[in-house]
Structure 1
Amino acid sequence: MTKTSKDGIVTQWELHTIRVREARVGPGAERDELKVTNSVGIIADDYTGALMVACYLEAAGIYAPLVFHPDAEVAESSVVVAGTRARTIEAATAVSNVVEFLDGSAMGGSSRFVYKPSASFDSTPSGNIGPVADCLAQRTGWAPTFMAAGFPEVAITTHLGYLFYRGKIVTASIKRFDPLTPMPDPDLVRFLSQQTDRGVELVSHLDMCRGRRFVENKISALSSKGAGHIFFDVSDEADLRLVADLAARSKSVFIASDPVAVAFAKNIVGNSAIARAAPRHVSGPAAVLVGTVAPVIQRQLAAFSEVHPVLALDLTQSKNPEAIASDAMEWAAEHVGSRPFAIATSRDQSDVERAHAAYGSIGAARRAEEVLGILAREFRARGIKRFLVAGGETSGSVVSALGIKAVRGFPEGPLGTGFCVTTGEDPISLFLKPGKFGSDDVLLEALDHMR
């Protein structure tokens, strides 16, 4: 079913919405009586990005629970955000994880879905953005897929298909030091084309400067030509608004960076958004866990160490992760409950290089995540109530280790996004921070903010 209802035939997704409506409120229910027809499911490829989106939506007055399990229980909402660990795992597993959320009860009533990679579409030549986009297109029957990378507010942009990171072409930026996704090709159209057999075409910033009608005609031409995916430049805020609006009005799968996904969701739910009272932080002992190696976090740890103790682990020692964590617990014992402290899996880039030489980039990352996951469970058992976690993959390992299924994000504030509190009994507060974001004193300020 591919034609519109104007022709007397419903689309595949309209059929899905009718079935959801009849299952929940019975046949014949009016569209404006059913909030689910306007609901949006946003599936992010890491936990910090998922939380960032949830916080932006909360700041816009839209209740947006964040789930880490496909069947997590959440209150009725206009938008549900899901955090996965799909960025760096094997492509087939990443696709499977996304499908679990598509089919899970947490966002099973959503009528539109967005897959949200990082703002710079961090990935490898083999995936996982292309495979997920192909899967979503196949499941919905919608083609071509729309793709849009960029975050102009923080100087992450795309122009003529090329990715610029903080004002520099990505291969000349600090992004080139990323141990898992260094993005060796700045041409995202060419780079993404390695991840899919369906082809990637470009709608450039120059195209969008010629106006909506020109862009709509180009989309139509590319679609008629059989384009599998259409990539849109996001060079500035005007590009961002236009592509989000075009996606909201289309019947296309959308693969979108943080601010584009937020703009899309706001366009879909409009004035019907469900709002709820803001959450409150939990007071209690705090710990900082750092698994990222970005230069930014090194400066942040240096500022933190001027006030609180910091331990840097050596992942290259012959001990297994449990033994490394046990040694760290001995060091932390005198601090737990008495003062904040931080544990990092490296001191500097040289530590990272040694770990990579010993275990490979993926192996070293998984070793670090395992150690920090063990420590998170131990600290939680000993009464830690506030966790500050740096790094998207690290955040995923800590949240998973703690068995957290759902959180409520706090609206964006003076320190930006990243704050949340778990739902259910015995809550804890968390600050999940992307490794490359924040001022030098953000860890210290976050501690004060979470009181």
Structure 2
Amino acid sequence: MVAGMLEGGGVSCPVLFRPEAGAGDGAGALIAAARSRTVPPAVALDEIALWHDRLVAAGCARIAYKACASFDSTAQGNIGPAADLLAERAGRRPVLMSAGFPRFGATVHQGYLFYRQRLVSDSIKRLDPLTPMEDPDLVRHLGRQTPHRVGLVGHLVLRRGVVAAEEALSALAAEGVGHVLLDASDDGDVAVSADLAAGRDLPVVASDPLIVELALRLCPKGTAEAPAAPPHGPVAVLAGSTGPVVMAQLAALAHPVLTLDLLAEGDPAALVARALDWAAGQGGSFAISTATDAAGLALSQGALGAAGAARRAEEVLGQVARGLHGRGLRRFAVAGGETSGAVVAAIGLGSARALPEGPLGLGECLGQAGGGPVWLFLKPGKLGGEDALLRAICHGEGRAR
């Protein structure tokens, strides 16, 4: 999504899925698509450090860590440790932090996180299977993840402009604050925060809007080589997210849907084989899903643990994607951020070019895997209307809906 917004703003922005992947010529920004959100902090920090060094070696003058718009994490989460790592590498504090994505209904006001006009603790985000957001006070929430004090520059300051924000930031820095959260009540807050960040060479840990606005201010514009032409053929929808949003999107499909029960087979390989056999009998686009309702989620988590259930779903759908790709399928629509990472890794995609915002919104990209082009639509599980996956199939097949 970030790369698509930058490409639409005139900044060439390849997405790298593996540290050894080539960035190509003419890039104004690079995105490292790491999978550090839900792994143990020590593992996450190793991966972030590896990518940090790779990006510095590639010539990136500023490094920012992108978190989910709702800063999904627990008290043992990785956002605070990631911010501390960036501060240590840069040798500078405070770290500028910003959550929210006003365009999609995620906002931060006076340090409190709202999702779709409700406190995040009263929203569907409180039910996330791995990172339930139970505390809307982000200053307090982030303070549990780092030994450094977290301060706040709120909306009432940001609405007065960048000079007032500079003064507030300087005062907090003089107090020894290690991290400063910036409100994102609306796009105006984000714009002032981006001006503030552009004028200060400080580490940044933020969600999509601030990352994009900062990059648009700092990165050179220009065009790189055009992405590969999209391949032809049916679309495979792979849905590993869970909850009411993705369940409604699957129900709206006018295509065959296979729902896999993670507990039905003792060996995940048997689930993969069953899915591939089923897919071989389909004459067009289809969906394979591990999505379930709250009762089904409770059963799988009770048997496998929250992390175990999530990892099994990712493993199964990743291997299904590999099998489908090996049989010649080249178009994938994936629901769920962690599932997207598993699919990309399984099919061996090293890098991709995101497409500017189009009929599907953001999340469309093209890459090369196995010697040929691959089209992907990667979307967060909890975003999009009920027809989001249906539109992805229609668009992927090259027909209007």
TM-score under structure 2 length normalisation:
0.95
CA distance in 2, matches of 1:131, 1:261: 19
Q: Superposed, which structure 2 residues align to 1:348-367 within 5 Å?
A: 348-367=293-312
Alignment partner of 1:276 out of 202, 224, 230: 224
8 Å CA contact 2:84–2:146 kept in 1: the answer is: yes
Does residue 371 of the first structure (1) align with residue 316 of the second (2)? yes
CA distance in 2, matches of 1:290, 1:138: 38
8 Å CA contact 1:419–1:430 kept in 2: the answer is: yes
Which amino acid in structure 1 is aligned with residue 296 of structure 2? Answer: D
Alignment partner of 2:385 out of 439, 442, 449: 439
Which amino acid in structure 1 is aligned with residue 331 of structure 2? Answer: R
SS in 1 for 2:373: coil
Please tell me whether Structure 1 or Structure 2 has the larger radius of gyration of its CA atoms.
1
Gaps of 5+ in 1: 1-51
8 Å CA contact 2:245–2:382 kept in 1: the answer is: yes
SS in 1 for 2:365: strand
Match of 2:125 in 1: 175
Does residue 62 of the first structure (1) align with residue 11 of the second (2)? yes
Q: Offset of 1:438 from its aligned partner? A: 1.3
Q: Offset of 1:352 from its aligned partner? A: 1.1
8 Å CA contact 2:257–2:288 kept in 1: the answer is: yes
Alignment partner of 2:376 out of 430, 435, 444: 430
Alignment partner of 1:285 out of 230, 234, 244: 234
SS in 2 for 1:79: coil
CA distance in 2, matches of 1:202, 1:80: 29
Match of 1:116 in 2: 66
Q: Offset of 1:259 from its aligned partner? A: 1.1
SS in 1 for 2:249: helix
SS in 2 for 1:372: helix
Alignment partner of 1:160 out of 110, 117, 120: 110
8 Å CA contact 1:392–1:434 kept in 2: the answer is: yes
8 Å CA contact 1:72–1:105 kept in 2: the answer is: no
Alignment partner of 2:280 out of 333, 341, 357: 333
8 Å CA contact 1:374–1:401 kept in 2: the answer is: yes
Match of 2:95 in 1: 145
Aligned residue pairs total 394
Q: Offset of 1:427 from its aligned partner? A: 1.2
- Per-residue deviation, residues 63-87 of structure 1 (Å, max 9, x unmatched): 1000011121121311011101110
Q: Which moved more, 1:242-251 or 1:105-114?
A: 105-114
CA distance in 2, matches of 1:197, 1:347: 38
Relative distance call for 1:108 and 1:278 in structure 2 (3 A) is: closer
Which amino acid in structure 2 is aligned with residue 405 of structure 1? Answer: G
Which amino acid in structure 2 is aligned with residue 68 of structure 1? Answer: F
SS in 1 for 2:334: strand
Q: Which moved more, 1:392-401 or 1:316-325?
A: 316-325
Q: Offset of 1:431 from its aligned partner? A: 0.7
CA distance in 1, matches of 2:313, 2:187: 37
Alignment partner of 1:314 out of 261, 270, 287: 261
CA distance in 1, matches of 2:201, 2:95: 9
Which amino acid in structure 2 is aligned with residue 108 of structure 1? Answer: A
8 Å CA contact 2:243–2:291 kept in 1: the answer is: no
CA distance in 2, matches of 1:91, 1:62: 32
- Per-residue deviation, residues 108-146 of structure 1 (Å, max 9, x unmatched): 210001100011111111120000100110011011100
CA distance in 2, matches of 1:193, 1:295: 31
TM-score under structure 1 length normalisation:
0.85
Match of 1:243 in 2: 193
8 Å CA contact 1:70–1:107 kept in 2: the answer is: no
Which amino acid in structure 1 is aligned with residue 193 of structure 2? Answer: V
Gaps of 5+ in 2: none
Q: Offset of 1:275 from its aligned partner? A: 1.5
Q: Offset of 1:106 from its aligned partner? A: 8.4
Name the Cα RMSD after superposition. 1.4
Percent of pairs identical after alignment? 47
Which amino acid in structure 2 is aligned with residue 355 of structure 1? Answer: S
